[in-house]
Amino acid sequence: MPPPEEVDLQPRVDGLIEALRDDEPAVRTLARAELRRLGPLAEGRLRANVRHPDVDIASRCAELLARLETRTGDAGAGLISKVVYVDPEGGFVAIEAGRAEGVAGHRFEILRGRRWIATACFEKYLGGTASRSKLRITAGRGVDIRLDDEAVGF
């Protein structure tokens, strides 16, 4: 398998850019996370779409480029993880992946399939052999979150 730099990602990146204007918030969130994960590999296509006739695509591409240019310290960008613990009171969740250099306040969307469940912010790295992080629920109802829902960082 060729290295990622040698694979033609343009069709995939273009599809993700088109998804930035999808009616479903979860589709937009997943596309944004994947574009951030691709980072410099998507930069050329993001730049090409900053002047897209669709204002949603143009503004979201500009936002992604701005974040790409200031990526240092952006530890959770593009991270997609599973919820492994839900506080019975609904105030926080733990996800199965994390980094010790996580940034307090980094935003995650909690999704079930294509449906938005809640928004959460990185609170602290819990560490351990399972490498877990604690996220504080900031929008939505934490009690509606289930194990194995996805946490998408951006």
Average pLDDT, the chain: 81
Helix (H) or strand (E) holding 7: none
- pTM score of the predicted model: 0.58
Which ranges of the chain have pLDDT less than 70? 1-8, 69-78, 98-105, 129, 154
Contact 96, 130 (CB under 8 A): yes
Based on its alpha-carbon atoms, the radius of gyration of the chain, rounded to whole angstroms, reads 16
Please give the distance of CA 118 from its chain centroid, rounded to a whole number: 13
Identify the three-state secondary structure at position 138: strand
